[in-house]
Chains A and B, each alone.
Chain A
Amino acid sequence: MRRTVPPVRTLLVAVLLAASLAVACRAAGPEPLRLNEDPCDFCRMTISDARFGGEAVTRAGRVYKFDSIECLAGWSRTVKDGAVAAMYVIDTQHPGVFVRADSAGFIKDGFMQSPMGKALVAFPSRKAALEQQTMLGGRVMTWAEVMADTTAPAPTVTK
C-alpha cells in the first residue's frame, strides 16, 4: 500500500509555505536615505541632512522617503487608512538610524531647527526626549500629538 501524506502534515507545509511567502513579500524595514540624491516624497526637496527625516513602508512594500518629520506626517494624512505598514523617523542624535514613529519621542520648537521649519526632532523614546528637553528646550510630544499638530507645511506663528 502506498503511504499517503497525512493531511495534517500537508496543511502544515502549506501554511509554512504561505507564511514564508508572506514574509518574503513584506518589506524588511526602512531603507537608508541617500543624501543629496533622494528627493522627499512630500515636498520634493532633495534630502540632505542625516539628522532629520523619515520613511513610510506601505503594505505593498513600497518605501516613501521624507526629508523631515513634518513631511512624513503631512504625507501620511494624504494616504488611505491601513495602507501604511510602518512609519519610521530618524533618531536625531544618531544620523541615519531609524526608530519607529509610534514609539519615538519628539521635541518641537526647541533649540534645533529642522528642514521644513517646524523645529521638530525625534528621539528613540519619550523618555529620551524628556532627557534632552533640559538642553534643547521646547515641548515633548508623542507621534499622535505630532500628527494632530501637523496640518500644513508652513508654520502658523512667526517668531
Chain B
Amino acid sequence: MTGRSVAIAIVASLAAYAAPLAAADLTVGAGGAYRTITSAVAAARDGDRIIINAGTWREATIVITAPNVTVEGRGWPVLDGQGARGVLIVAADDVTVRGLVVTNTGVSTLDDRAGIRVRDARRCLIEHNRVRDNLFGIYLQRSADCVVRDNDISAHGLSQTTSGNGIHLWYSPGARVENNHISGQRDGIYFEFSTGGVTTGNVSEHSQRYGLHFMFSDSCHYERNVFRENTSGVAVMYSHGVVISHNRFEHSWGAAAYGLLLKEILGGEIRGNTFTGNSTGLFIEGSSHLAIADNDFLQNGWAAKVLASAEDDHFTGNRFAGNAFDVSTNSRTANSTFDGNWWDAYRGYDLNRDGVGDVPFHPVRLFALIVEEHPASLVLLRSPMVGILDAAERVFPVLTPDALVDHHPLMRPPR
C-alpha cells in the first residue's frame, strides 16, 4: 500500500466517524454563526444543538426535520408568528425544545395553528417554554411517548369565537404531561384518541370551556392537578379504565358547569379528589364500574348527581360537607351504591360506639328530585315547607330511591 492510499483510507475513515461524533452547537443571534433560526435548522444534523440567543425572531414556520436535535433558548428569545402562522413544528424523533417564548400564531378557521406542533414524531421533550397568545399552545399529533412539562401557557388576548386548546393531544399515546400551568385557552388540557397517558401536577384555570377534557382516551392517569375557575369545569368522556386521583376541582359555576363531568366512562377510580364550590361537583352519566372513594365534596350546589344510566358505581369513604344537595338523581331506580361515607347532614347516633351510625342515611332529599323535574322550584330551597317535606320523606321514604342509602354512615369525618 502506498503512502497516498493509506492517507486516503485514514481520511475516509475519519470522515465516516466525524459526522456522528461531532454533534455541534449552532448558535443563532448575537455572537453566533447563524443570523436566522431557519438557516440553523437547515444546517442541523442528527444530535446537534441549536442555541437561540435573546431577541425577537419573525420567520416563516420553523420545521425541525433532523432527529435528536435540541432547540434551546438563552435569555428567553421570542419566536413571533406575527398573527399569521404556526411558529414551530417538530417533525423528527427525539427532539427537545426548551427555553423559548412562542407567541402570536393568530387565529384561523381553516388550520388549527399551534405555537409548538409535534407531528408524527416520537419521544419529544417540550419543557420550560412560555407559550403566549396562540390559537393552540402545544399540539401533539400522532406523536407517541412525548413529555410536555414545566411550560407556562396562556392565551388571554384571543377572541371568544375562535379559540384552541392549551395542550392538545390527538392520536398521541404514552404522553406525560407534567407541571404545566395553563390559563385562558378553550380547553386547558385536551386528549383525543390518546391512550396510556399520565397527567400530573398541572394547574389549569380560567379556561373558556374545560380545564381538562378527554375523549376516546383509555387507560390514562390524572393525578395531583388543580382545575379551577374553568367556565364549564372538567369533562371526561367515552373512555375505559381511567384513574383520576388527588386532583382539585374548584369553582366552576353555571348552568352547564361541573367540577367533573363523567360520561360513558367504563371502569376506573375517582379517588382522593377535592370538589369545592362548584354548581355540581361530580356528575355521572352512562358510566359504570367506578370506585369513587375518599373524596371531599365541599360547598357545592350539588355534591354529586348520579343519573340512573350510571351503573355499579360505588361511593365509599367520601366526605360531604356544606353542600346544598348531597346527592341527586333522575329516577327512583338507582344502580349505584353508597356505603361508609361521612355526611354533615347525618343526624343519627352510634350506641355501640363503633364509629358507624346505627341508622342509615338517605342522601337524596325529596326536594332534590323535585328540582330535577322542575328546575324553577329551586327558588324554594330555603322555604320552611321544603324543610318539612324533606323531614317527612326522611321518616317515611316513599319517593326517594330505595337503593341510594348509606347503611354505614361514618360518625366522624374520615379526614
| Interface residues, chain A, with chain B CB atoms under 8 Å away | 35-39, 43-46, 48-51, 92-93, 95-96, 112-113, 116-117, 153-155, 158-159
| Given A36-B186, A39-B256, A45-B237, 18 other A-B residues pairs in contact with their CB atoms under 8 A | A35-B160, A36-B209, A36-B231, A37-B256, A44-B235, A44-B263, A45-B235, A46-B209, A46-B232, A48-B187, A49-B186, A50-B161, A95-B161, A96-B161, A113-B170, A117-B215, A159-B142, A159-B193
Task: Please tell me if the beta carbons of A36 and B232 are within 8 angstroms of each other in the complex.
Answer: yes
Chain B residues closer than 8 Å to A48, beta-carbon distance: 163, 186-187, 208-209
Q: How far is the CB of A38 from chain B (nearest CB, A)?
A: 8
Q: How many A-B residue pairs have CB under 8 A?
A: 64
Q: Is B171 an interface residue (CB 8 A)?
A: yes
A-B contact pairs, 7 of them (CB 8 A): A35-B161, A45-B235, A46-B209, A49-B186, A153-B264, A154-B238, A159-B171
- Collect the chain B residues with CB atoms within 8 Å of residue A154's CB: 216, 238
A46-B216 CB under 8 A given contacts A113-B112, A159-B142? no
List residues of chain A with CB within 8 A of the CB of B231: 36, 46
B261 surroundings in chain A (CB, below 8 A): 44
A109 to B267 Cα, complex, angstroms? 29
Contact B109 A95 (CB under 8 A): yes
Question: In angstroms, how far is the closest chain B Cβ from the Cβ of A118?
Answer: 11
Chain B residues near A49 (CB, 8 Å)? 162, 186
A153 to B239, CA, bound (A): 12
Residue on A nearest B162 in the bound complex, by CB: A50
Within the complex, what minimum Cβ distance (angstroms) separates A120 from chain B? 14
A109 to B212, CA, bound (A): 25
Q: Report A43 CB to chain B, min CB distance, Å.
A: 7
CA distance in complex: A108, B93 (Å): 30
Contact string against A for B residues 159-191, beta-carbon threshold 8 Å, 1 for contact and 0 otherwise: 011110000001100000000000000110000
- Pair A155/B216 contact, Cβ less than 8 Å: yes
Interchain CB contact under 8 A, A117 and B216? yes
The CA of A36 and the CA of B252, in the complex, are separated in Å by 13
Chain A residues positioned under 8 Å from B110 (CB to CB):
112
Alpha-carbon distance A153/B186, docked complex (angstroms)? 22
Q: In the complex the two chains form, is B186's CB within 8 Å of A43's CB?
A: no
Q: Could you say which of B162, B163, B256 contacts A46, with CB atoms under 8 Å apart?
A: B256
- Asked whether, in the complex, the Cβ of B208 is within 8 Å of the Cβ of A36, the reply is yes
When C-beta atoms are compared, the residue in chain A nearest to B187 turns out to be: A48
CA distance A48 to B235 in the complex (A): 13
* Contact pattern, B 230-250, Cβ under 8 Å of A = 1, otherwise 0: 011001011000000000000
